[in-house]
Amino acid sequence: MRVLGIETSCDETGVAVYDGSRGRLLAHALHSQVALHADYGGVVPELASRDHVRKTLPLVERVLDDAGLVAGDVDGVAYTAGPGLVGALLVGAVVARGLAWGWGVPALAVHHMEGHLLAPLMEPDPPAFPFVALLVSGGHTQLIEVAELGRYRLLGDTRDDAVGEAFDKTAKLLGLGYPGGPALARLAEKGAPDRFTFPRPMTDRPGLDFSFSGLKTHALTTLRGIDAGDEAARAAVAKAFEHAVVETLAIKCRRALVETGLRTLVVAGGVGANRALRARLEALATELGGTVRFPRLEFCTDNGAMIAFAGALRLAGGDAPTAELAVRPRWPIDELTPPAAA
Amino acid sequence: MSRLLAIDTATEACSAALWIDGELHEQYAEAPREHAKRLLPMVETLLAEASLKLGDLDALAFGRGPGSFTGVRIAAGMAQGLAFSVGLPVVPVSTLAALAQGAADVEHPRLLAAIDARMGEVYWARYLLGADGLVSLDGDERVCAPEDAPVPSDGGWFGVGSGWKTYEERLATCLGNVVSGFDGARYPRASDVARLAVPVYERGAALPAERAIPVYLRDRVANKPG
Tens digits of residue pLDDT in A157-204: 999 999 999 999 999 999 998 889 999 999 999 999 999 999 999 998
Q: How many CB atoms lie within 10 A of CB A339?
A: 18
Which residues 18-77 of chain A have a CB within 8 Å of chain B?
39-41, 44, 46-47, 49-50, 53-54, 56-58, 60-61, 71
Q: What is the pTM of this model?
A: 0.96
Report pLDDT for B224: 81
Of A47, A102, A326, the CB nearest to B85: A102
Residue A193's closest CA among A244, A144, A229, A147? A244
All domains in chain B, ordered by first residue: 3-94+189-222 (3.30.420.40), 95-183 (3.30.420.40)
pLDDT digits (tens, 9 = 90+) for A17-35: 999 999 999 999 999 999 9
Q: Has residue A342 got a pLDDT over 60?
A: no
How many CB atoms neighbour CB A71 within 10 A?
14
Work out the minimum CA distance from B82 to partner chain A, whole angstroms.
4
Task: Check residue A46 and give its pLDDT.
Answer: 97
- Predicted confidence (pLDDT) at residue A292 exceeds the cutoff of 60: yes
Flag whether pLDDT at A341 surpasses 70: no
pLDDT of residue A231: 93
Q: Say yes or no: A151 contacts chain B, CB-CB below 8 A.
A: no
Query: ipTM value of the model?
Result: 0.97
Distance CA A340, CA B2 (A): 43
Region B65-77: what's the mean pLDDT?
Answer: 98
- CA–CA gap between residue A116 and residue A136 (Å, rounded): 10
Burial of residue A207 (CB within 10 Å: 0-12, 13-18, 19+) is exposed
pLDDT of A286 over the 80 cut: yes
| B82 contacts on A by Cβ (under 8 Å) | 98-99, 101-102
Q: Which residues of B176-205 are buried (b: 16+ CB within 10 A; e: fewer)?
A: eebbeebbbebbbbbbbbbbbbbebbeeee
**pLDDT confidence of residue B70:** 97
pLDDT surpassing 80 at residue B126 = yes
| CA–CA gap between residue A213 and residue A170 (Å, rounded) | 10
Option in A46, A90, A97 nearest B40 (CB) = A97
Pairing of strands A2-7, B3-8: unpaired
Which of A114, A181, A45 lies closest to B73 in space, CA to CA? A45
In the three-class reduction of DSSP (H, G, I as helix; E, B as strand; rest coil), residue A113 is classed as helix
Of A56, A99, A326, the CB nearest to B85: A99
Cα–Cα nearest to B102, from B195, B202, B168: B195
pLDDT tier for residue B226 given thresholds of 50, 70 and 90? low
Please give the Cα distance from B188 to B127 (Å, whole number). 14
Q: What is the mean pLDDT of chain A?
A: 95
Report the half-sphere exposure of B54 (CA within 13 A, side-chain side). Answer: 26
Sign of CA dihedral A297, A303, A304, A309: positive
Cβ proximity of A246 and A276 under 8 Å: yes
CA nearest B34 in A: which residue? Answer: A326
The sign one gets for the Cα dihedral B108, B110, B114, B115 is positive
Tell me the C-alpha distance between A19 and A3, whole Å.
6
Q: How far apart are CA A37 and CA A33, in angstroms?
A: 7
CA A172-A178-A180 angle, 5° bins: 70
Answer whether residue B64 shows pLDDT above 70.
yes
**Residues of chain B contacting A86 with CB distance shorter than 8 Å:** 70
Banded model confidence at residue A42, pLDDT cuts 50, 70, 90: confident
For B169-220, the pLDDT digits (tens) are: 999 888 988 999 999 999 999 999 999 999 999 999 999 999 999 999 999 8
What are residue A122's phi and psi, to 5 degrees? -80, -15
CB spacing of A102 vs B214 below 8 angstroms:
no
* Residue B206, min C-alpha distance to chain A (Å): 17
Give dist(CA A340, CA A268) in Å, integer: 26
Of A40, A60, A96, the CB nearest to B224: A40
Q: From the CB of residue B65, how many other CB atoms can be counted at a distance below 10 Å?
A: 30
The predicted model gives A85-98 an average pLDDT of 98
State whether B37 and A98 contact (CB < 8 Å).
no
Using alpha carbons, list the distances in angstroms from residue B218 to B49, B144, B191.
38, 9, 26
Contact B73 A91 (CB under 8 A): yes
Determine what percent of chain A is predicted with pLDDT higher than 90: 92
The answer to whether A74 and A306 are in contact (CB under 8 A) is no
Q: Are the CB atoms for A83 and A334 separated by under 8 Å?
A: no
Nearest to A98 among B70, B82, B213 (CB): B82
Helix, strand, coil percent content, chain B, rounded in steps of 5: 35, 30, 35
First to last CA, chain A: 21
Q: What is the largest CA-CA distance in chain B?
A: 59
Beta bridge partners of residue A25, listed in sequence order: A18
Give residue B223's pLDDT band: very low, low, confident or very high (50, 70, 90).
confident
Q: Are strands B59-63 and B3-8 parallel, antiparallel or unpaired?
A: parallel
Residues of A whose CB is below 8 A from B212: 57
| CB A158, CB A292: distance < 8 Å | no
Quick one: which of A227, A230, A239, A138 has its CA closest to A186?
A: A239
User: What's residue B151's pLDDT?
Assistant: 86
Quote the mean pLDDT of chain B.
Answer: 96
Tens digit of pLDDT for each residue in A207-265?
999 999 999 999 999 999 999 889 999 999 999 999 999 999 999 999 999 999 999 99
Q: Is the pLDDT of residue B19 over 90?
A: yes
What is the DSSP annotation of A224-277?
A: HTS-TT-HHHHHHHHHHHHHHHHHHHHHHHHHHHHHHT--EEEEESGGGG-HHH
Distances B59 to A138, A263, B87, B88, B215 between C-alpha atoms, Å: 42, 56, 9, 5, 20
Which domains, from first to last, does chain A contain?
2-118+299-335 (3.30.420.40), 129-294 (3.30.420.40)
